[in-house]
Amino acid sequence: MLLLTIGHLVKTRPELFKVDSPHRDILDRMFPRLQAWYQWFQTTQKGEEATSYRWRGRDNDGVQLNPKTLTSGLDDYPRASHPSYIERHVDLRCWMYAAADAMATIARVLELETDKFESTRDQLGDEDLLNELHWSPHTQTYADFGLHTDGVRFVRQQSKNPQEGSKVVRSVTIAPQPRLVTSAFGYVSLFPMLLKVLQPESEKLGKILEMLDKPDLLWSPYGLRSLSKLSPLYMKRNTEHDPPYWRGQVWANVNYLALAALRHYSARGPHAQRASALYTALKENVVRNILSEYKRTGYLYEQYSGEDGRGSGCKPFTGWTALVVLIMADEY
């Protein structure tokens, strides 16, 4: 997000970065570090398929119902049930599109070479390539790909050592297959829209907008839920002692991205009217609930319930939940 913020600042306030300005000097000194950071992702998080990416660090320990992806920042959001090298993560691919675009913008202002960044951005922005890797014609949604089964459940297993008692572990009832993880419709499925990878004329954008306000999926009176109510892992614990985190709760940071995207797509194109209506309704829901909970408790929260809107997680939390101020001001 830091890289995207810098890219946005450079794009919207170019006058701050004129030659001999102090801001330009700072940006010039930052660039090698930003480039190294960007290149680290390009070299370490590449997927097996061309233009695909895979979050590293997933571990199938036999205890988690769905192994966490802590590196993504979405912790327990459902991914492929069996981590493997064949995985493709649609959110990371979209992050890399946005990162390449930001790097191209920064390099252009600094009068540096932009070709390699623009080439990557254009390749990752090719909707045909994106659809080939991540679009499900069956569910009409974007999804991760990997070795997956929805046939998982918790069972209590007695230890071989009587002194250790029993523990809850994962049991696989249906063998996994290489497939798109379409049962986990949620924030990850929205990333091609959230990071504006899709063009305003995109048919796939229209499909996303059609599903966005369905109350049995992500829409709630409090904002967009992180996971569909129809998902098998909706609000399910990940271990005996690990409650749900990104499995249905409403998060202000992703709702901010959704509002920014809806405002962007409401400017032009065949879906502009739909995007505008969704923007107005979603903004009202998010702002009303955050302010309502603040008035009720005196706190901003890390996340909010998708069922009743009550704040949960860390408090007081004026991190990304403070984005409500920018939302109220229509600043994206």
| C-alpha to C-alpha distance for 332 and 319, rounded to whole angstroms | 16
Q: Quote the Cα angle for 202-207-208, to 5°.
A: 95
Beta carbons of 60 and 66 less than 8 angstroms apart: no
Beta carbons of 304 and 293 less than 8 angstroms apart: yes
The separation between CA 82 and the C-alpha centre of its own chain, rounded to angstroms, equals 20
The DSSP code for 270 is T
| C-alpha to C-alpha distance for 232 and 154, rounded to whole angstroms | 13
Cβ-Cβ contacts under 8 Å for 65 (sequence gap 6 or more): 152, 153, 154, 170, 233, 236, 237, 238, 239
| C-alpha to C-alpha distance for 211 and 215, rounded to whole angstroms | 9
Coil, strand or helix at 197 = coil
Cβ-Cβ contacts under 8 Å for 29 (sequence gap 6 or more): none
Q: Which of 139, 132, 49 is nearest to 86 (CA)?
A: 49
Beta carbons of 85 and 27 less than 8 angstroms apart: no
Q: Which of 61, 103, 97 is nearest to 82 (CA)?
A: 61
Give the residue numbers annotated as catalytic, written as ranges. Answer: 75, 302
| C-alpha to C-alpha distance for 54 and 48, rounded to whole angstroms | 8
